[in-house]
């Protein structure tokens, strides 16, 4: 049995493409039937359109990559009028809306706009983006600010609110508990770790933004540790992510306490990554004597 529950909504399996790595979903429908997915978290959306950061935005590194895209998106109105109708033609399940802002008010305005979209099942409130200035991660590194955003979005939301946390903190459980106390229905983590690269020829940072977010297999052990700690600190569901590349990683994340698992950078190197992982889960479950994935969550005590 691969079905899991996420904030009261049943998923056929726990695998979810992570925001920022899967566009608005319909792009990948040209490669395979994306209805195989548990759900998907679409590209981070702000109230106004954003160009994002200057180029270059991507830098390679061993066992991962750095990105500094900076929340490039067409703005919530165009997402509603153009992007989501395209997605609805190829995906029949509820989707996760990743929302961002530069003020508490902006987060709320985006949520209020998206309330009208029936296909959206959850809000993933991104208080963890390291690549924008004056927003994103600034809310996710202070328990009081995290609670303030959570409480405000929860007050206007007609969907379950999942708060996405930054790993760039001393104690991630304090942020998680603050979000939970403010009414969060779930927690997702981790977003990317801060990093940088320097070009030896120019002796300057590779990224125009100087720093960027590190993702890929290099971050998996860090992500797993933080999911484990957070799942023990809160009573609400946790979505684990960070360096997940194969079915075994999904099982490991769930044992650490995740109710569902997002796949990020792997989609950029292998567009069929999520399909491959889902199709391989039954084999891995059989290998380790697992009959029901729901029974795994938090099993690594």
Mark 3-25 as b/e (b = at least 16 C-beta within 10 Å).
ebebbebebebbbbbbbbbbbbb
Instruction: Identify the sign of the CA torsion 18, 24, 29, 34.
Output: positive
**Active-site pick, 7, 61, 108, 129:** 129
- Output the six-digit token pair for 9: 């909504």
Helix ranges (DSSP H) in the chain: 76-78, 84-88, 104-114, 137-140, 143-156, 172-181, 220-233, 247-256, 266-269, 273-287
What is the pairing mode between strands 95-99 and 41-45?
Answer: parallel
- Output the six-digit token pair for 39: 């759900």
What does the angle CA 173 – CA 121 – CA 11 come to, to the nearest 5 degrees? 80
Are residues 99 and 45 in contact, defined by beta-carbon separation less than 8 angstroms?
A: yes
Are residues 162 and 187 in contact, defined by beta-carbon separation less than 8 angstroms?
A: yes
Are residues 132 and 155 in contact, defined by beta-carbon separation less than 8 angstroms?
A: no
CA 128/CA 139 separation, integer angstroms:
7
Look up residue 135 and give its DSSP letter.
S
Cα-Cα-Cα-Cα torsion 179, 183, 188, 193, nearest 10 degrees, comes to: -20
7 given a catalytic annotation? no
> Annotated catalytic sites, by residue?
129
């Amino acid at each position: 049995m691969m079905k899991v529950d996420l904030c009261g909504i049943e998923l056929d399996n726990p695998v979810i493409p992570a925001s920022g790595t899967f566009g608005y979903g319909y792009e990948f429908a040209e490669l395979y039937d994306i209805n195989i997915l548990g759900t998907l978290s679409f590209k981070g959306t702000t109230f106004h359109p954003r160009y994002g950061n200057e180029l270059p935005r991507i830098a390679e590194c061993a066992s991962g990559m750095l990105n500094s895209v900076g929340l490039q998106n067409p703005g919530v109105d165009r997402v509603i009028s153009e992007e989501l109708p395209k997605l609805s033609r190829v995906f029949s399940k509820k989707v996760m809306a990743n929302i961002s802002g530069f003020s508490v008010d902006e987060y709320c305005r985006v949520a209020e706009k998206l309330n009208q979209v029936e296909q959206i099942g959850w809000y993933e409130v991104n208080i963890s983006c390291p690549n924008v200035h004056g927003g994103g991660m600034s809310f996710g590194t202070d328990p009081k600010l995290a609670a303030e955003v959570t409480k405000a979005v929860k007050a206007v939301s007609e969907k379950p609110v999942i708060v996405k946390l930054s790993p760039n903190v001393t104690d991630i459980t304090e942020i998680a508990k603050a979000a939970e106390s403010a009414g969060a229905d779930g927690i997702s983590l981790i977003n990317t770790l801060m990093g940088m690269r320097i070009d030896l020829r120019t002796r300057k940072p590779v990224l125009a933004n100087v720093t960027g977010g590190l993702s890929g297999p290099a971050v998996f052990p860090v992500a797993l540790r933080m999911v484990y700690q957070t799942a023990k600190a809160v009573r609400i569901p946790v979505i684990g992510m960070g360096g997940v590349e194969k079915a075994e990683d999904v099982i490991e994340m769930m044992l650490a306490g995740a109710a569902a698992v997002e796949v990020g950078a792997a989609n950029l190197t292998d567009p069929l990554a999520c399909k491959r992982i889902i199709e391989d889960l039954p084999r891995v479950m059989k290998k380790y004597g697992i009959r029901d994935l729901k029974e795994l969550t938090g099993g690594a005590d």
